[in-house]
Amino acid sequence: MKTFDLNIRLETREKNYSLIEISGYLDAHTVNMFENRMEEILESGEQNMVLDLLDLNYISSAGIGALMSLTQRLRKKHGDLVLLRPNRKVYKILDLLGFTKIFVVALDEKEMEDFFKSKKQEQK
């Protein structure tokens, strides 16, 4: 069976963060692939990461756990993870569980840019 469960595309590293598009679903089946790909990006020394979740249709506890682990690792390096444009369903699940208070969620690119600007100023 052909599967296109999870697609991950590293969009850009031109700014002070990596922008990664995630599409499909992040569950117990796809989480290992996701973690392996994120590990490669982390190993390249990345401090800030942005996951564009516009086309992520579903997330389970396995996916949330992977995002949590990624967030903790980036914050240890004084960086951060931004979840950009989660769709309504994914946002609702994160919000009902209280994760919108733990993760940095940006509903659009301006919010994301503003977050990094204010973070940069705090670090000065």
Residue 79 near another protein by CB under 8 A: no
Which is nearer to another protein, 101 or 124 (by Cβ)? Answer: 101
Among the listed ranges 9-17, 28-36, 46-54, 108-116, the one in contact with another protein (CB under 8 A) is 28-36
Residue among 2, 14, 45, 96 that touches another protein (CB under 8 A): 96
Residue among 10, 33, 41, 68 that touches another protein (CB under 8 A): 68
Helix (H, G, I), strand (E, B) or coil at 20: strand
Give strand pairing partners of 16. Answer: none
In whole angstroms, what is the distance from residue 26 CA to residue 45 CA? 24
The token duo for 93 is 């699940």
- Please name which of 44, 108, 41 lies closest in space to residue 70, comparing C-alpha atoms: 41
Q: What is the DSSP letter of 85?
A: S
- Please name which of 45, 41, 44, 48 lies closest in space to residue 8, comparing C-alpha atoms: 41
In whole angstroms, what is the distance from residue 49 CA to residue 42 CA? 9
Residue among 31, 82, 84, 105 that touches another protein (CB under 8 A): 31
Residue among 7, 11, 15, 28 that touches another protein (CB under 8 A): 28
Q: Which residues bind another protein (CB under 8 A)?
A: 1, 3, 5, 25, 27-29, 31-32, 58, 60-62, 64-65, 68-69, 72, 89, 92-93, 96-99, 102
